[in-house]
Structure 1
Amino acid sequence: MSLKITVIGTGYLGATHAAAMAELGFEVLGLDVVPEKIEMLSAGKVPMYEPGLEELLARHVAGLPGSSGRLRFTTSWEEVGAFGDVHFVCVNTPQKHGEYACDMSYVDAAFGSLAPVVREGSLVVGKSTVPVGSAARLAELLPEGVELAWNPEFLREGFAVQDTLHPDRLVAGVRSERAEKVLREVYATPIAEGSPFVVTDFPTAELVKTSANSFLATKISFINAMAEVCEAAGGDVVKLAEAIGYDDRIGKKFLRAGIGFGGGCLPKDIRAFMARAGELGADQALTFLREVDSINMRRRGHMVELAREAVGGGSFLGKRVAVLGATFKPDSDDVRDSPALNVAGQIHLQGGQVTVYDPKGMDNARKLFPTLGYADTALGAVRGADVVLHLTEWREFRELDPAALGAVAAERVILDGRNALDPVLWREAGWTYRAMGRPAA
């Protein structure tokens, strides 16, 4: 008998996981406590932008023309309990307001609602990013005869479908051979394709995601610290990164200097990691992450300073600033802790007239920063601008025609906050080009 799978929480992680499980051939039931979200997903629509996800949903949501019918959605915990052999918990774990620590209220609520309805012999699988030690505590909330496993997610926004169907690794924190066997059955297809399957205890499984994100954050902040040194010494951080990236112990990835990282994962994960280490009495082991976080936040302020210099060095009052990018990264509509919007907001608060354009993040940006100006195109944002800030490295921005933009800008000055544009191309079109960590480039 094929396993029946439920996915609890149908946000970014849950919607992707539910659709991917249906693609792998399982019957899937997704649950959310927000009826509007369930209605939307049941119509084959997703509440966020993620390449390929809507097409994947349409292939499997019951009731849609030509679909497999393997995927349904509900708001009923009783239906989930009766249906599922394996229950994936995919709810959000945001940062607590005013603290570094992780807010576990959604996870606790999910386990509290699932425990009374789950069938004996079922396996509950945590995918949410939680502080180490949470799995052991949550296992106690489940009734006798129901096991827990921890299977952290490693989704990259913009590549979530690929990362779920063809993961670069699968981690299974388990307490029994049976739990491992069930997870191997769930992931039989990617395992057969060569995805490594790493079996661990609960604490190790919980630590993998935060450790990986801390390492990536450290690498990004390292090259941004080198950019600060390059600014002081007259060096070129792009050439520096190229040279050290050829060392295969270091590698080229995540060595592009700029305005730093943001989003819903890296910032809150490293802060929650520091908070949990403190609770465990191991806070000294992670003190370096404070500097990683500090370097990252400093980059945003530095871009504001560069923009102020570019408009004359005094005040932003009366100056028009175009911001290309609102999302924290390309191929996403996610504006959570977006460095681009943070910079735009700071300049606006200092009196600048800011106009933002982003290919996918406009609606979310407007909700978060309703007082900023918004344009429907890059050309519209740049019209009349005294300085242009490139802050999210969308392909659309790399392919812009500098001459066409130059014809509508008040001043041809561009600050490349992502070191992603071609300086030669822009300078040939009469622009003053400046990038972080490249004072002489």
Structure 2
Amino acid sequence: MRISVIGCGYLGAVHAASMAKLGHEVVGVDTDATKVEALAQGDAPFFEPDLPELLREQVASGRLSFTTDIADAAGAMVHFVCVGTPQRKNSYAADMTYVDAAVEALVPHLAPGSLVAGKSTVPVGTAHRLAELVTEAQPDAALAWNPEFLREGLAVRDTLHPDRIVYGLPDEGGVSNGVGGDPRRAEALLDEVYATPLAEGVTKLVTDHATAELVKVAANSFLATKISFINAMSEVCEATGADVTALADAIGMDVRIGRKFLNAGLGFGGGCLPKDIRAFMSRAGELGADQALSFLAEVDSINMRRRVRMVDLAREECGGSVVGHRIAVLGAAFKPNSDDVRDSPALNVAAQLQLQGADVVITDPQANGNAAKAWPTLNFAETPEEAAEGAELVLLLTEWQVFRELDPATFGQIVKTRRIIDGRNVLDPVTWRDAGWTYRALGRP
């Protein structure tokens, strides 16, 4: 099948390469000429494990190409819309400028019987609105919503071997009134796209447009709530002397709860969870259902308080003020195995400490470049050892494996003072304390 992917950022580049891997002929379309040139050479413009190899393989095969001309999408039977929906300035709402522009640019090139499949995370109701645009331009075309569930660091695997595939299709009424196209035709086309994972036994869920739009934001809101719950317990543990890690282990043994996403620490960041829960709250308010999601405001608040608490701990360890103290920050990306620094808790803490007068040096295996662009006033080092040279305090803020495997005895010979705050609760306190370190962590005595 010939497929187009509109928008070749993080989601689109991974999706385009993965669809080519499944045997389809894929053209990726993006307005950024520099990005398109890099992708056309098989170079990933961001760090994602396994993606560079996949890009080079599929570009070399001839099944994958990239262009800045939307007209090159003509002739494709399925068009995936993968553009971003960032948080709107001065608002919690999602900025739909890019999605709307992508669909408006695409519709003149739709062929009869073709399908527009939205993958972007959008406010509920977007699909119905765009379906009207699609079927008005091409009555024999259809629109479906096919949400993505990628995890940064595991995106290629999640695309090729997903845990579920969701089709949001027009309802039967859409056929008669011309809105959204024929659901049976849309389903058949998506079945052909995903024939390989479906043959492997991946679960397929067929819903209406609105339910499919809600699946991603509901999932992200649940995960954010679970993270913030254990971080709220972390605050209680600090007030009582309890250990939040042991608490998480105990409650995580309950099969109704589970241990995943119960890792207390600095909280979540990135380009999805924070903006998605805020956009969800905003959309609920527009629909008159704002009370249903009022708890998400507290989820967001708990998450942001973790960053403030980390700064407070650093100040305590420095005797009440960080002015003039050299602090090594391990981590800049919002999560390991990524170079994404959007809404990074690590960078937020580092910047706050610098503003309060600390001499901050940051290191990250992949995100130094992006972090320096976002925060040009911060200082960066290539290695943990270089960052820690003469440091009076070390903060572990992104749980990269290379940081988790540091030898506390050897590392202790580099720093000026053996003091560490484990912002992700991933180090063994006994091992570090036995090596002469003062060890502190969020939610632990």
User: What letter is aligned with 1:263?
Assistant: G
* Equivalent in 87, 106, 113 of residue 121 of structure 1: 113
User: What letter is aligned with 2:126?
Assistant: S
Corresponding residue number in structure 1 for 2:296: 289
In terms of mean alpha carbon deviation, does 70-79 or 159-168 score higher?
A: 70-79
User: What letter is aligned with 2:239?
Assistant: A
Q: How far, CA to CA, are the matches of 2:141 and 2:97 in structure 1?
A: 22
In terms of mean alpha carbon deviation, does 204-213 or 382-391 score higher?
A: 382-391
* Equivalent in 10, 13, 17 of residue 11 of structure 2: 13
User: What letter is aligned with 1:25?
Assistant: G
Q: How far, CA to CA, are the matches of 2:197 and 2:388 in structure 1?
A: 46
In terms of mean alpha carbon deviation, does 262-271 or 404-413 score higher?
A: 404-413
Question: 1:9-408 residue pairs with structure 2 within 5 A?
Answer: 9-61=7-59, 67-81=60-74, 83-142=75-134, 143=137, 144-175=139-170, 176-313=183-320, 315-408=321-414
User: What letter is aligned with 1:336?
Assistant: R
SS in 1 for 2:376: coil
Q: How far, CA to CA, are the matches of 2:195 and 2:431 in structure 1?
A: 49
Shift of 1:74: 1.0
Shift of 1:121: 1.3
Q: How far, CA to CA, are the matches of 2:255 and 2:247 in structure 1?
A: 15
Q: What stretches of structure 1 of length at least 5 have no aligned partner?
A: 62-66
Q: How far, CA to CA, are the matches of 1:316 and 1:419 in structure 2?
A: 22
Shift of 1:384: 1.0
Q: How far, CA to CA, are the matches of 1:305 and 1:195 in structure 2?
A: 46
Shift of 1:80: 0.8
SS in 2 for 1:335: coil
Shift of 1:134: 0.3
In terms of mean alpha carbon deviation, does 358-367 or 418-427 score higher?
A: 418-427
- The answer on 1:428 being equivalent to 2:403 is no
User: What letter is aligned with 2:13?
Assistant: A
Q: How far, CA to CA, are the matches of 1:194 and 1:226 in structure 2?
A: 39
- Please report the TM-score for the alignment, with normalisation by the length of structure 2: 0.96
Q: How far, CA to CA, are the matches of 1:231 and 1:16 in structure 2?
A: 41
Q: How far, CA to CA, are the matches of 2:299 and 2:229 in structure 1?
A: 8
Shift of 1:418: 0.1
CA deviation vs aligned residue, 1:43-87 (integer Å, no higher than 9, x gap): 0001100000010011110xxxxx321101111111212x31100
Shift of 1:336: 0.3
Q: How far, CA to CA, are the matches of 1:340 and 1:235 in structure 2?
A: 25
Q: How far, CA to CA, are the matches of 2:256 and 2:312 in structure 1?
A: 35
Q: How far, CA to CA, are the matches of 1:200 and 1:240 in structure 2?
A: 38
Runs of 4+ in 1 over 2 A off after TM superposition: none
Shift of 1:425: 1.5
User: What letter is aligned with 2:163?
Assistant: D
Q: How far, CA to CA, are the matches of 2:356 and 2:166 in structure 1?
A: 47
CA deviation vs aligned residue, 1:83-134 (integer Å, no higher than 9, x gap): 3110000000000011100000000000110011211211000000000000
Q: How far, CA to CA, are the matches of 2:201 and 2:355 in structure 1?
A: 51
Shift of 1:265: 0.1
SS in 1 for 2:270: coil
Shift of 1:296: 0.1
Q: How far, CA to CA, are the matches of 1:76 and 1:390 in structure 2?
A: 44
Corresponding residue number in structure 1 for 2:178: none
SS in 2 for 1:408: coil
SS in 2 for 1:433: strand
In terms of mean alpha carbon deviation, does 72-81 or 196-205 score higher?
A: 72-81
Corresponding residue number in structure 2 for 1:64: none
CA deviation vs aligned residue, 1:379-409 (integer Å, no higher than 9, x gap): 0111111110000000000111112221121
SS in 2 for 1:59: helix
Q: How far, CA to CA, are the matches of 2:91 and 2:106 in structure 1?
A: 28
Q: How far, CA to CA, are the matches of 1:25 and 1:117 in structure 2?
A: 23
Shift of 1:192: 1.2
* Equivalent in 410, 413, 429 of residue 419 of structure 2: 413
Q: How far, CA to CA, are the matches of 1:194 and 1:117 in structure 2?
A: 34
Q: How many residues align?
A: 430
Q: What stretches of structure 2 of length at least 5 have no aligned partner?
A: 171-182
Q: How far, CA to CA, are the matches of 2:374 and 2:185 in structure 1?
A: 46
SS in 2 for 1:173: strand
